[in-house]
Structure 1
Amino acid sequence: MKKTIVSLALFLIIASSFGTTASAKQYQVELGDSLWEIANTFGTSVNRLKNKNDLRSDLIFPEQLLEIDVEQTYIVEKGDTLSYIALEYDVTVDELLEWNDLDSDLILPEQKLTVFTDPVDSDRGQAVSAEAQAVTSEQTQETLTVTATAYTADCEGCSGITKTGINLNNDRDAKVIAVDPEVIPLGTKVYVEGYGEAIAGDVGSAIVGNRIDINVPTKEQAYEWGVRKVKVTILG
């Protein structure tokens, strides 16, 4: 079925260093259309269409106008991960995989990714969720790339008391990281990619320089985390 676009606005984002362009669409529903078909045509999802247009059901009508998410092209930078990009654009990793026909999380610098989101409203030319704004909107916030390991208070001989006095035995799910105080001062609030908001509340003999150790409830989760490179944003 031929689809009719009743308006098409093109935005050239003045952020050439990030190589981001976007286009917004408004679609007029035709007889026989369904949200699933429209979502499939424009590479978005039914849920995003419903949220974008404040629809409480899948019911749509001929000649109804639907706002379609902005389509953007993002050029991957060194150090980027799909989870980091998803956070900044307020989308999911699964959506990024689907939109770009990716079979894995592996992305490379200069690779072009298609992202569907709301109209641009940030310094990088993308919509940013309330959570991401807390992480990325202020230029004064510093972001570090660090090597992250994991530890747990659930071990024989472990006191469970951090350097700053936090008792992890009372709350095994507490978001606490061990840091090098020369890099991230104790007591600092941070956002750790793949972990969430946390407090720099502990130290460790092996945690020197750009390294952190995240607290997790069990040994199994610590093993599952392993060793990985992540971005840490200083929140204050």
Structure 2
Amino acid sequence: MKKTIIAFTAAVATSLPFVGQASAETYKVKQGDSLWEISKEYNVSVADIKEWNGLTTETIYPNQELVVSEKIKYTIKSGDTLSSIADQFGVTVSSLKSANNLTSDLIFAGDVLIIDQAAKEERTVEKKVNKPVVQQETTTNDKNTASANKTSTYAANEKSLKNEEATSSSPKEENSSNQTVSKQEVQARETATKAQEDNGAKDAGETITMEATAYSLVGNKTANGTVLTKDSKVVSVDPSVIPLGSKVYIEGYGTYTAADTGSAIRGKKIDIHMPTEQDAIQFGRKQVKVTIK
């Protein structure tokens, strides 16, 4: 199969909300191809390809261009920031930094960033400070506590606010643009951090709800070297969530061994090996409860 990269711009790809240039990995369908064969070539699921391309059936046609990867390459333009790019693609700044091995928010026009659309599932919407927020002074008869309730104004780039933090009635912290942010934003960031921690490795005996798809590759080897047969009770996992070699119980399906991985299997996702391709297609995509033994 021939792999290609097709460039999309805002004028021709309205589904991608950006102004600069970006590209996604695509595959040009040939006579005799099937979604199943293409999904295995790119190590993704049939359901993913259908979702990325807006397909409602598994019918495809020769010369049809199919998006086969969750990752998009974006060329940074003058005036871009990590925050603005994250907003354009519906991902988080932290996911951009992680996908591109960035240690700071500094970026340069002309450089290329990898946008991992899978990170959209982890995005927590944060409120933005668009104008100063003023808290009214609280009247009190106790002169000793008057300073703790005085009016505090949240504004960008005012160093004097740092001296008022100890007496302000609302917590403040500075973001990367030297703006002060509200208590609600602090809580939103804490929620986002907790969501990322929740995707970490799970303890034995813990039951979690995961998104499941299925595949069938009888005769092939898994990530840990297991040769797959029709009777193989193997599941593909994200090792950062379920370590390879773990035994997992999938409610309604039985006990499987975490012996395989896949580029589309990240976070709370699993891909269950089935005896035949037809069994995998019929399984589709569903939510299941998984217990790590």
TM-score by length of 2: 0.30
Higher relative contact order (CA 8 A, sep 6+): 1
* Rg (Cα) greater in structure: 2
Task: From the two aligned structures, give the one with the greater helix fraction.
Answer: 2
